[in-house]
Structure 1
Amino acid sequence: MIMDIKTHIGVELLSAFDAGDLVQVDKLFFENNRNVLEVSQTENWNWLHKNLLGFDSNIPPKKSIEYLIKKGVPINAQDCYGMTPLHYAMRSKNAEAALALLQAGANPNIPNQDGVIPLSMIGGMPERLDILQLMLDKGGNVHHFTDQNETDILDTLKLYFSEDDVFKPVIAMMEKYA
């Protein structure tokens, strides 16, 4: 199957973002008349979403996310699944991307279509107390209920992970905001 030129340039852009080659990113946007603020029609993905769709915790690098933030790409935009860039950063365990988004004002309380908020995804990186602290400082709601749970985030962690040493500091920190 032959790739159309727009898709081909999109793939090149994502590769440059993954490599942190922002000179190449600027060149590709300029030479191909692409807009950093464009959004995919079907998925409603902006360039932050697209860059964070993978599952590698180190890709893209923080500087690529900061580049997009500085260019004005909306950090709290929701895609067709209700997912924000912060949801995707948390899902892929890209801690540096999550930090960049939070420092730029990303909201840790925006629910996706299943009622999951980025704060509730801290279980994937419980050792990253810096991210948890920033989410809590930004108003992270430890009492949020997802559509599928009858207990809130904090109570769920206490119920299932209170004996797990890696989660004890997470629970203790969240209790300060309860």
Structure 2
Amino acid sequence: MKTILWATLTANGNYARSSQRHPPRPEATADFAVHARQYGNFIVGRQTFLEFQENASRRPQSASLDGIDITVVSSSLTLPPGAPAQTAADPRAALALVRARGHQAALVVGGERIHRAFLAAGLVDEMIVVVTPSLEDEGRRIVLPSGERREATLIEHAPLDGGLIRLRYALGPSDTW
């Protein structure tokens, strides 16, 4: 199964944080929604899933996630019956659930913890990065396990509205320093 990590980063390489004062860029949200619809699913961590649920009413219709299979990686989240998602304890279990639902590829979104978990397990084949025209303080970054290195090959780049740029990379095998 192909696994694609999707992230929004600032121009200085940090995860683009959001707040009431600085909400997610609508162009990035729309790009995520396009990819989620393309793959029919996404895998997310608990915290990002809860934020998605909390902010659902503020998402534009063009970023609707209706009909998308959502898998939440969490060992502590209990979803009520009829919830719009399923849970998995770890990345491999999440991929097994996505595969069981008939998907050929999985989109992994969220933040540092979920991305690190998939990268550390060697489960990421491609990476889509949407770069926003902003800078942030130290922030958080996409990080591999200590001593690990992976080459990336650019397979697509596209400008998005609002000065954003989408970069898509194929990731090579893990190597050590």
TM-score by structure 1 length? 0.28
Taking CA–CA contacts closer than 8 Å with sequence separation of 6 or more, which of the two structures ends up with the larger relative contact order? 2
Structure (1 or 2) with the greater helix fraction: 1
TM-score by structure 2 length? 0.28
Greater C-alpha Rg:
1
